[in-house]
Each structure stands twice: as structure tokens, then as C-alpha cells.
Structure 1
Amino acid sequence: MSTRPSVLFVCVHNAGRSQMAAGWLRHLAGDAVEVRSAGSAPADAVNPVAVAAMAEVGIDITANRPRILDYETAEASDVMVTMGCGDVCPVFPGKRYEDWVLADPAGQGIDAVRPIRDEIRTRVEGLLASLGID
């Protein structure tokens, strides 16, 4: 891993969980980590309830756009965190993988998304600690 690790968050639609995780990592790590997110079947837009939930904690993800998971992005990442993408996530030898089992915010109201957002924050904080980043 380089001095500035890169983390790729992957979920199916790249519209909820992975976008919130990327938002938390950018917020908590600043420039210490290169942050990426992608999806195996990206949606047209980020889930508006995920956007609202993140806005409640002062994190703006309105400019984010779902992206397709491509080979180059996965290969260039040091850590891949998957969230429900199953067998479509590529596997590269020598990469660090984590699979975060989280509820899917798709179709959920804000009251259901807040605990998902908060669980993602906790997991991102643990990830940062494991990378040695304050």
C-alpha cells in the first residue's frame, strides 16, 4: 500500500451504502485517503434519502454520481469494501477485502436510513484505525 491508501466502496447500485461510506471517509480522513465508490449495476442517481441522511450530519453528497465498477478502478485500489454486491465483485490477489453486511437503504424512509448511516460511520472509523489514520 502506498503512503496514501486508496479505498473502494462497492455496492450494487452505488446509490446508497457505498455513497454514504465514501462521504464518511472523505469527511473523516480528508486527503489522507483516496476515496472511490462504484456499483455492479449503478443507478441513475444517488438515493435522495441517503443524501438527506448525510446532510443531517453535515456531509454533502449531492454532487456524487453512481459509477460502474470497472477493472481498472478495482485493480488500482488498496482496500475494497463490498456491501452486498455478491459474486460480481472482482477479486485481485494481494488486495485487502472487507465485506460489510448492511441493510440496503433503497426504498427506505429517513428513519430506517439513519441507523444505516450511523453504522457505516462506525465501520469507517474502524477502517481508518486499521489503516493507522487518525
Structure 2
Amino acid sequence: MTADKALSGLLTPEAALHRLADRLAERFTGVFARETIDRYVFESYTALARSASVTTHLPVLTERFATDRLTALAQAKGAIESSVCEVLFVCVHNAGRSQLAAALLAHRGAGRVHVRSAGSLPAASIDDAVVVAMAEIGIDITAEFPKPLTDDVVRAADVVVTMGCGDACPIYPGKRYLDWQVRDPAGLTLGEVRAIRGQIDERVRALLAELQPATA
């Protein structure tokens, strides 16, 4: 644990968020005004807090979430260039299908694509069976967490894959939208989750072959 992360547990949430905004303002100097940084930090914290069952680590998760959102916004505005295809997976709770798909594509892509995931109504945590099923094939997702769907990550995506979230995802021209009909693993047995993992992995491999035909 870094000194800043250890200290964040001793500070009030507001003080920790101000320290986070200071770091991000330095990181995104010349890209965003301080007001934008502050808004994204506090909005991100509030959004995560709505579904969090434990708030102890929220400042740390907020840093990851706000950083990714600001990076996505900068990409969408052309302030930061992305050299790889940006893929976004969206399901309802961001606790099962979209986490499986994102982890599998990131693993199979090995840096050839950049992957994000989100949920229209994020859960408090990732399904335990999903974590176990991924660990079985050597992919650790214990550090991942459900994230709410935000406009910035959609705008930054080249490909948006929806998985049972209906019309919650905004539509922007120039992007590729796919809808994967895959069973929700919530409440299912590990064996059933394994089957879902296999179905998603087949789709992920096919998508990667389309996006990177020469190297998939």
C-alpha cells in the first residue's frame, strides 16, 4: 500500500478527495481545468457510494474510476490519442457478464485493445462465482469493482458491447454497437458460470479476430 493510500484511510472522505483532485489536476495539466477535475472526482465518489456496501476503500476506488473517466473524456475530445481499439462492455450490474467479457478480452488481447466495463445499475461487488471462474483459468479480477455507466466512457469507445441492459447505453454515430445475448450469472452455480464464461470467451475470441485479424 502506498503512503497516499494509507493516509486516505485516516483522512475524512472530503479531505482524501481533495488530495486526489490535486494529483489528478497535476496529471491532466493543460487538458482539463481544475473545476472539471473537482467535479469528476466528487461525482465519481458519489456514484460509487450509491451502491457500495463498505465505504472504507471508496477514495482508492474513486481514484481509479475518476482517472479512467477523465482519460476517456480526454480521448473523446482528442486531447489524448489511443493507439489501440477501445472496447466497452455494458451489462446491468457490472458484476458478471461485462466483467467476464472485459477480463477475457483484456487477457486475450494482451495490450492490442483497451477494455472498459460498466453497468446501468451497478451492484455492490462482483459475483463470487464469477471471480472463482476467472481464477480457474488464471485471470485474477479480485481488484475489479462494479462501475456505473457514464457518458464519457461511451464516447471514448470504438466498440460498445451491450449484454442485457436494454437501451440504457447512449447511441453515438461512428461507433460499432453489438448486443450479446448471454445468460446473467447472478445466483447461478459455479458450473453454470463456467458455461457462461465459455460462451463469452468464444465471442471475445471472434471479436478480437475481427479487430486484430493479423495478430489474433
TM-score, length of structure 2 as denominator length: 0.60
> Secondary structure of the equivalent of 2:130?
helix
Distance (Å, rounded) in 2 between the aligned partners of 1:9 and 1:88: 12
- Compute the RMSD of aligned alpha carbons: 0.9
Distance (Å, rounded) in 2 between the aligned partners of 1:108 and 1:83: 17
Which is helix-richer, 1 or 2? 2
Higher relative contact order (CA 8 A, sep 6+): 1
- The worse-fitting range, judged by mean Cα deviation, of 97-106 and 2-11 is 2-11
Aligned positions, number: 133
**Cα deviations by residue, 1:75-103 (Å, 9 ceiling, x for unpaired):** 10000000000011111111101100000
Identity of aligned residues (%): 56
**Once the 2 structures are TM-superposed, how far is the Cα of residue 73 of structure 1 from its aligned partner?**
0.5
- 1:11-22 matched pairs, under 5 angstroms: 11-22=91-102
Partner of 1:9: 89
TM-score, length of structure 1 as denominator length: 0.96
Structure with bigger gyration radius = 2
Q: Which runs of 5+ in 2 are unaligned?
A: 1-81
Confirm whether residue 106 of structure 1 aligns to residue 186 of structure 2: yes
Distance (Å, rounded) in 2 between the aligned partners of 1:17 and 1:122: 13
Distance (Å, rounded) in 2 between the aligned partners of 1:115 and 1:90: 30
**Cα deviations by residue, 1:25-53 (Å, 9 ceiling, x for unpaired):** 11101111111000000001111100001
Which is strand-richer, 1 or 2? 1
Aligned partner letter, 2:136? E
Moved beyond 4 Å, runs of 4+: none
* Residue in structure 1 matching 2:108, options 6, 16, 28: 28
Confirm whether residue 49 of structure 1 aligns to residue 95 of structure 2: no
